[in-house]
Amino acid sequence: MISRRTVNKIEKEARTYFLKAFSCHDWSHIERVEKLALHIGKKEKANLEILKLAVILHDIGRKEEMESKGAFCHAEKGAEIAEKILRRNKIEEDDIQNIVHCIITHRFRNNHIPNTIEAKALYDADKIDSIGAVGIGRAFLFAGKIGAKLHNNKKIDIRKTEAYSEEDSAYREFIVKLSKIKDKILTREGKKLAKIRHNFMAEYFKILQQEVDGKR
C-alpha cells in the first residue's frame, strides 16, 4: 500500500519537470493520460497505485531530451530519474521495478516491450491521447508551433513530403503517424477507445477537405 501522502509528494516533484512545457506535452497531458490509464487499468485489473505513479512520472525525462535535442530517449532517461525519486520516497523494491518498467517501455522503442498490465495500460493511454478530438487539437497546436499549414495542397503527395517542411500539417501528421496508432494498441479496452477516436479523427479530416474544396 502506497500512502496518499507519498503519492502527493511524488506528484509535486514530478510537476516541477513540466514548468514551461509546450502545450502538446504539458502537465495536462499527464492528467488526461492518468484518467485514461486508470479507466483502462480498472478494466484490465491493474494495480492502480503502481499505474498512477507510473503515469505521473512517465514523461519526466522529456525536458532533458528536448534540451539535448533528442540525444537520448526520454523513456530511458525518465526511468533513471524516476527510480531515484521512488527510492528516496521509500517505495518497495518490487513496486519500483514495475513502475520503472512502465516508464522505460511507454514508447515501445529500443527493444523495451511493455510486459506488465500496468505498462500496457500506460502505453495505451499515452498513445490514445494523441488521437481523437484531443489528438486533433494537439496536432494543430504542434503544427502552429512549427509554422505548418492549416491544410495541404491536394496535388502534392504528402507521403513524399518531410516533417517540419513547408508541406507539413496536422493532416500530414495524421496520415504518416496518427492513423496507425489504433493498430498498435495492446489492451482490449484500449483498442475499443482507439477505434472510436480514430474514426472521429478520420471523419474530421474528411470534412476539413470538403470545406477547403468549398463543397460543404
Instruction: Provide the β-strand partners of residue 169.
Output: 149
Q: How far is the CB of 23 from Fe ion (least distance, A)?
A: 13
Grid coordinates of 206 = 474528411
Q: Return the residues of window 80-109 that contact Fe ion according to CB under 5 A.
A: none
Stretch that binds Fe ion, among 94-102, 119-127, 144-152, 174-182 (CB under 5 A): 119-127
Shortest distance, position 155 Cβ to Fe ion, whole Å = 36
Q: How far is the CB of 107 from Fe ion (least distance, A)?
A: 6
Query: CB-wise, 106 or 161, nearer to Fe ion?
Result: 106
Residues 51-70 that bind Fe ion (CB under 5 A): 59
- Residue from 183, 75, 205 nearest 128 by CA: 183
| Site residues (CB under 5 A) for Fe ion, limited to 9-38 | none
Quote the least distance from Cβ 149 to Fe ion, whole Å: 26
> CB of 35 within 8 A of CB of 44?
no
Based on CB atoms, which residue is closest to Fe ion, 128 or 158?
128
Q: Assess 124 for contact with Fe ion (CB under 5 A).
A: no
Stretch that binds Fe ion, among 6-14, 45-53, 97-105, 126-134 (CB under 5 A): 126-134
State how far the Cα of 59 lies from the Cα of 213, in Å rounded to an integer. Answer: 40
Nearer to Fe ion among residue 61 and residue 152 (C-beta) = 61
The verdict on 126 binding Fe ion (CB under 5 A) reads yes
Residues 153-212, interacting with Fe ion (CB under 5 A): none
What is the Cα–Cα distance from 22 to 184, expressed in whole angstroms? 26
Contacts of 161 (CB under 8 A, 6+ apart): 167, 168, 172
49 or 59: CB nearest Fe ion: 59
In the complex with Fe ion, the residue whose CB is nearer, 14 or 208, is: 14
Q: Which residue number, 49 or 126, has a Cβ lying nearer to Fe ion? A: 126
First to last CA, the chain: 56
Specify burial of residue 157 (Cβ count, 10 A radius: 0-12, 13-18, 19+): exposed
Q: How far apart are CA 80 and CA 88, in angstroms?
A: 13
Q: Helix, strand or coil for residue 166?
A: coil
Q: Are 106 and 58 in contact (CB under 8 A)?
A: yes
- Contacts to Fe ion by CB under 5 A: 59, 126
